[in-house]
Amino acid sequence: MQGKGSVIIIGSGLGGLQCGVVLSRHGYKVTVLEKHFTPGGCLQTFVRGKAGEGRVRFDCGFHYVGSVGKGEPLGIMLEYYGLGNLPWKRLDEDCFDEICFVDGSKGTFSYPYAMGFRNFSEKLSEFFPASKHELEEFVSVIENVCDHTFSSFGPGGFNPYFSRSAKEFLEETISDPQLRKVLSGPSLKMELSPNLPLYIYSQIFGSFIRSAYRLDGGGETLINPLCDIIRSQGGEVLLGKEVVSIDCSEGRAVGVTLADGTSYKADYVISDAHPSVTMEMVGEEGKLRGVYRRRISSLSNTYGVFTANIRLKKNAIPYLNRNVFIHRQDADLWNPDPSKTESLMVHFYPEDGRYASRMDVMTPMDFAGLSRWKDLPEHRRGEKYEAAKKAKWAECLSLLESRFPGIGDCIEDVYTSTPLTWLSYIGTPEGSAYGVRKNSENVLATVISAKTPVEHLYLTGQSLNLHGILGVSMSSILTCGEILGLETLRKEILHV
Ligand SMILES: Cc1cc2nc3c(=O)[nH]c(=O)nc-3n(C[C@H](O)[C@H](O)[C@H](O)COP(=O)(O)OP(=O)(O)OC[C@H]3O[C@@H](n4cnc5c(N)ncnc54)[C@H](O)[C@@H]3O)c2cc1C
């Protein structure tokens, strides 16, 4: 049923591809234009090492998701996008995340995040018996937000939890300061800040508590089928195509032009690139009001991250079917200082079930200290940049050793990236990991609508209302809903 109109999608990140799947299924002629030669944006993978034993594929960022079980919110959405049968592997039921604090000479203290809302509060109550009721109250609010995922779809179906601060909620609900720290433990899955909306904290926190899974094969396992579905429905995913301008006529988007000068005409344009990057591509004919342009370009972004993708020596470390978040006890998790290395997220990959073959380590990193190299390509940033990466890795290793003594000796190779790498590859301003920073005190300005003032130009992706696989999957529905009608999509997704 081709012939409803044509759609250009800028960027093959998860959001761009999901929109491509839905619109091509509905009979639109879809063309996805990706500037890189690998699709997937933050979900792309890369290969390092010599052919044979030493050759390893790493994920750039993706590690695990929540609520992907049958009938669970993300599971329902992924099925709708044609991703119903992926090789998800459930993490440890009683400890899918370990929250570890390093307290100088006192050593390390770890707390488990257990799966299932009740199991979660029961297991933590064993460490904080006096806080049992507070924990139950805390969990019931989080669960309530997650239960209403489909009735609270972003800016349109506006959710009051957006204008409530997660930090204030935590302080009002939980009186024990150490328990508050523990409940702030998976801080690297989002950027904790005093004005982080409770909605974002609850969705991300709660979706993993409901159930937590890693994916065999990583991000590629999500991205490749989406490209195949688009192509099988008559669409195209074209790589190595950098869009430099969104062409408009009389305030309406009519196509795009690439860096090589080629133009593509279309009835609709959707951008999966960061909103401020998108707005820079709109010329005079877009008749974009200055106030909107200024609003979008002045949005602040979440911090960027330093990542270390590590190949481990064979059979050197037992595989842990959980993620480990390591924090210095005195770190202020709600005001992270990316110029220090006070928090790490550690993710393991299994070799044969018993041992870990690879490991990823992630920590916030300050962009300002790197910005002098921002106009150079990654391989030409020179010795001082390489030294800065080495120094950051040394800080990570020192913190890592507190939880895993001797781990340095188990490492075969380390490949590192910085926010500059993310800026070069994805184009997100300042190499931000999770896009636009949301603010509970300024929701209308920081939660972004898929619809722009330029007719037939729409936004999608992690900066709209929520990041991660969950958030982007929700944004894609909001974006396609602008063209197909949100109610139509809601019925298709929920089979009602
Ligand atoms: C280190 C890290 C770890 C993460 N781990 C997890 C995790 O474990 N679980 C989870 O749920 N989420 C995780 N996330 C978040 C998740 O990966 C992102 O929210 C999501 O993938 C973003 O998708 P997106 O659609 O917004 O597009 P992006 O991934 O931002 O992709 C945008 C695409 O647009 C392309 N593009 C930009 N400009 C142009 C142009 N001018 N022309 C053509 N193409 C262009 C880019 O090249 C890119 O491919 C992680 C993120 C990071 C950074």
pLDDT digits (tens, 9 = 90+) for 58-115: 888 899 999 999 999 999 999 999 999 999 999 999 999 999 999 988 999 999 999 9
* CA 43 / ligand 1 centre spacing (Å): 6
Would the CB of 216 count as within 6 Å of ligand 1? no
Which residue has the least CA distance to atom 35 on ligand 1?
A: 11
Mean pLDDT is lowest, of 235-239, 252-256, 328-332, 353-357, for 353-357
Would the CB of 10 count as within 6 Å of ligand 1? yes
Residue ranges covered by each domain of the chain: 6-43+217-300+438-494, 115-212, 303-433
Do 253 and 246 meet the contact criterion of CB atoms below 8 Å apart? Answer: yes
Do 212 and 97 meet the contact criterion of CB atoms below 8 Å apart? Answer: yes
Residue whose entry in the numeric block shows the structure tokens 């480990």: 324
Which residue has the least CA distance to atom 36 on ligand 1?
A: 11
Would the CB of 238 count as within 6 Å of ligand 1? no
Q: Is the model more confident about 4 or about 342?
A: 342
Instruction: Please report the atom of ligand 1 found closest to the CA of residue 281.
Output: 41
Which residue has the least CA distance to atom 5 on ligand 1?
A: 62
How many other C-beta atoms are found inside a 10 Å radius of the C-beta of residue 144?
A: 12
Mean pLDDT is lowest, of 18-22, 229-233, 422-426, for 422-426
Q: Which residues, at least 6 apart from 85, have a Cβ–Cβ distance to it below 8 Å?
A: none
How many other C-beta atoms are found inside a 10 Å radius of the C-beta of residue 143?
A: 17
Q: What is the mean pLDDT of residues 460-476?
A: 95
> How high does pLDDT run on average in the chain?
93
Instruction: Please report the atom of ligand 1 found closest to the CA of residue 41.
Output: 49
Would the CB of 206 count as within 6 Å of ligand 1? no
At 149 the pLDDT is 79
Per-residue pLDDT band at 459 (split at 50, 70, 90):
very high
Which residue has the least CA distance to atom 52 on ligand 1?
A: 61
Which residue has the least CA distance to atom 20 on ligand 1?
A: 468
Tokens at 424, concatenated: 């070069």
At 154 the pLDDT is 47
* CA 41 / ligand 1 centre spacing (Å): 4
Global pTM reads 0.96
Please give the Cα distance from 178 to 401 (Å, whole number): 23
Q: Which of 433, 7, 406, 32 is nearest to 223 (CA)?
A: 32
Tokens at 182, concatenated: 């523990």
pLDDT digits (tens, 9 = 90+) for 247-276: 999 999 999 999 999 999 999 999 999 999
At 322 the pLDDT is 97
At 53 the pLDDT is 67
CA angle at residue 97 from 476 to 91, to 5 degrees? 75
Q: Residue 304 pLDDT more than 50?
A: yes
Q: Is the model more confident about 54 or about 39?
A: 39
At 56 the pLDDT is 81
pLDDT digits (tens, 9 = 90+) for 145-200: 898 877 755 444 557 888 999 999 999 999 999 999 999 999 899 999 999 999 99
Q: Which of 414, 474, 468, 465 is nearest to 443 (CA)?
A: 465
Would the CB of 11 count as within 6 Å of ligand 1? yes
Do 280 and 334 meet the contact criterion of CB atoms below 8 Å apart? Answer: no
Would the CB of 35 count as within 6 Å of ligand 1? yes
Would the CB of 14 count as within 6 Å of ligand 1? yes
At 246 the pLDDT is 97
Residue of 62, 191, 343, 436 to test ligand 1 pocket, by largest number of atoms within 8 Å of CB? 62
At 3 the pLDDT is 66
Per-residue pLDDT band at 1 (split at 50, 70, 90):
very low
Per-residue pLDDT band at 353 (split at 50, 70, 90):
confident
CATH of domain 6-43+217-300+438-494: 3.50.50.60
